[in-house]
Amino acid sequence: MSESDIAPGYYYLDTEQKDKDPKVLRKEKLMLWVASNCNDTSWARRDFVQELQTYLPIDTYGLCGHLDCPRSEKECWEMRGQYKFHLALENSQCPEYITEKLWFNSLAVGTVPIVFGAPKADYERLTPPHSFIHLDDFKTVQEFIDYIHLLDRDQQKYLEYFSWRRLGHVMKGSTMLTNHTADNGKILCFIIRTLLIKSLFPEMYQWQARHPVFYDWWYGMCREDTQKTRIMDIDVTMKTDIAV
């Protein structure tokens, strides 16, 4: 994303829409996980969630879970908002790979995302401040459980994860093409102006691809040597069945 000239992303924080007094409804349920990709992941995500379920009450939805979201989009949205935490666990461990699991399924509905996938530094740079919990912050499962229980008991401490709402409002990335400003103008105007300038003054603005071979760049981002094999003290290595 940071290597793109124009990168709307999944969602973004629109700082023109601020909530001076963000209100969070009291929640009766602790944690949920929503997923439809059960096995085609770079790490043992489903096994990890099942391990956490031995310590915490986690409701699971989608093809990988045992519960169904209400058919109505509005009802499904409201159902997710009843939970304090959402396991926003990405399929892959890739730089800057932060999807709707954090933005739409967590921040937009009013629950705190517990994240894993991209490095913590990427989340800090690309998402609202103090809006998520990264699993890399915990050395053991017990540390994680203790922290979740602390937030569950301490409403004031839990609400600190919503203070970012005073800074802006979560918007879909596609709206950046019409709403968001860049270089004091609409992004579409910014694109056209850039193309015109580079066409009129080619000697000053020569086109040069940052990554001439897109395939090598795209498939080289998630290198095997950077993949974590343990989260806290849980092994998340994908198991391979070997026929004997």
For the chain, 244 residues long, give each residue's pLDDT as a single digit of tens.
Answer: 555 656 556 666 767 766 666 677 789 899 999 999 988 888 999 999 999 999 999 999 999 999 998 878 888 888 999 999 999 999 999 888 898 899 888 998 999 999 999 999 999 998 999 999 999 999 999 999 999 999 999 999 999 999 998 887 776 665 555 554 444 455 667 677 777 776 666 665 555 555 555 566 666 667 666 688 999 999 999 876 544 3
Residue type present at position 149:
H
Residue 189: which of 13, 181, 7 has the closest Cα?
181
Contact present, 46 and 64 (Cβ < 8 Å): yes
Domains, the chain, in order of start with CATH, read: 11-173+219-235 (3.40.50.11660)
Q: Which of 124, 159, 170 is nearest to 19 (CA)?
A: 170
Q: What is the pTM of this model?
A: 0.80
Q: How far apart are CA 7 and CA 173, in angstroms?
A: 9
Q: Which residues pair with 33 in a beta bridge?
A: 60
Q: Cβ contacts of residue 123 below 8 Å, gap of 6+?
A: 98, 102, 115, 132, 134
User: Closest Cα to residue 125, out of 90, 96, 164?
Assistant: 96
Across-strand partners of 113?
A: 86
Dmax over CA atoms of the chain, in Å, equals: 67
